[in-house]
Amino acid sequence: MAKSVKVYSTSTCPYCIRAKQFLAENNIQFENIDVSADHAKAQEMIKKSGQMGVPVLDIDGEIIIGFDKERMKQALGI
Amino acid sequence: MVYDLIVIGAGPAGITASIYAVRKGLRILVVTKDIGGQAAISGDVENYTGYQFISGPELAAKFEEHLHKFNINLQESEAVVSINKAQDGLFGVKTERDNYISKTIIIASGKRSRELKVPGEKEFRNKGLTYCATCDGPLFRGKIVSIIGGGNSALDAALQLINIAQHVYIINNTSNLGGDVVMRQKVVSAKNVTILNNAQVSAILGDKLVNGIRIKKDNKEEDVAVEGVFVEIGLIPNSEFAGLVEKNELGEIKIDSYNRTNIHGVFAAGDVTDVLEKQIIIAAGEGSKAALSAFRYLAEKE
């Protein structure tokens, strides 16, 4: 079954762009959440990750802070 | 496998060097921590010829697209630990994951943000304190923020944040802001900016997230309530791994006008070097020079 993947990001952050590119290249569906436009979601991201840096990925509940390809691969099982 | 050239870094200098080297028919490998370097985290770029206006991330994406147009061996998210001389006049590049062998090296590893080194900086990193206004600025919509620094990078951060934050404090430790006149005028004339000159930050305050900074000004300490701290106090070269080559007192790699270091076969380009100015367009130009010098070095050897 496909994993639920959320990407908390801003449109200007280069590592967010790279993280989303990486998911797209691997044909992984994800929900992109622009935290600069959605204050409530920004708070949700801060609560989940305990910090304010983007990107934050939520892969089936596993929280990954920053663009960490190796951890993403592990969490996604690819 | 012995490469003709290993390029360390993939910012404007490294990417341009790689493109030139591939077009010269060299077998190359690019080893880098990230793509785009500081260009990728710059705000608006208005002085890269051919683009009257482009954002840093967009320009970096153009560079990357150009790099991927060629079939280049690329090891991304891989930091170099050391470079050394190997047998038969070859060089070794040791990374966190592997060892590579090459006939020549171009070091284009750029610079990174200098840290404040005050209490609270480490604890609150990414908890309100950041070194990248372009990345994290949008999270501070409607908030009161501070920028530490008074040069171009501080002005760049300010120009981004005056449109996002409710109020921007600029904490500058000299008597006047530096940087480009055009940028400075835009910042100074913004209604929601307070500039504190001759002021030093002595601590970052907060609970779970940042809620203030302690400032020392005129021998008095004062706490200012802010939710964001953007550290923009300059850069240091990523040259620690390059013990093999000669550096200046700032840690920048010394090069000549051919981008040669003191070690034959090892070249360097861009912000990691002692080149006079640090600009995206200069880094790109230096990268091309370094690649052509490496090509010439290889041609003369064979």
CATH number of residue A61's parent domain: 3.40.30.10
pLDDT of residue A1: 63
Report how many domains make up chain A. Answer: 1
Sign of CA dihedral B51, B64, B155, A19: positive
pLDDT of residue B78: 92
What DSSP string describes chain B? -EEEEEEE--SHHHHHHHHHHHHTT--EEEE-SSSSGGGGG--EE--BTTBSSEEHHHHHHHHHHHHHHS--EEE-S--EEEEEE-GGG-EEEEESS-EEEEEEEEE---EEEPP---TTTTTTBTTTEES-HHHHGGGGTT-EEEEE--SHHHHHHHHHHTTTSSEEEEE-SSSS--S-HHHHHHHHT-TTEEEE-SEEEEEEEESSSEEEEEEEETTEEEEE--SEEEE-S-EEES-TT-TTS-B-TTSPBP--TT-B-SSTTEEE-GGGB--S---HHHHHHHHHHHHHHHHHHHHHH-
Distance from CA of A29 to the nearest CA of B (A): 22
Of B34, B128, B139, the CB nearest to A35: B139
B115-231 has the same fold as B2-112+235-301: yes
For the question of residue B156 being annotated catalytic, the response is no
Amino acid in the structure at residue B267: F
Is residue B136 over pLDDT 90? no
What DSSP string describes A8-48? EE-TT-HHHHHHHHHHHHTT---EEEETTT-HHHHHHHHHH
Q: What class, spelled out in words, does domain B2-112+235-301 have in CATH? A: alpha beta
Query: Which residues from B are below 8 Å from A36, CB to CB?
Result: 138-139, 141, 164
pLDDT tens per residue across span B262-271:
999 999 999 9
pLDDT of residue B61: 86
Domain spanning B115-231, CATH architecture: 3-Layer(bba) Sandwich (3.50)
Of B34, B60, B209, the CB nearest to A52: B209
Domain hosting A19: range is 5-76
> Domains of chain B: which residue ranges?
2-112+235-301, 115-231
Ranking A12-16, B97-101, B169-173, B249-253 by mean pLDDT, the lowest is A12-16
For the question of residue B135 being annotated catalytic, the response is yes
Q: Complex ipTM above 0.90?
A: no
Is residue B100 over pLDDT 90? yes
Give me the residues paired with residue B273 across strands. B253
Region B251-275: mean pLDDT is 98
Distance from CA of A68 to the nearest CA of B (A): 8
pLDDT tens per residue across span B213-245:
999 999 999 999 999 999 999 899 999 999 999
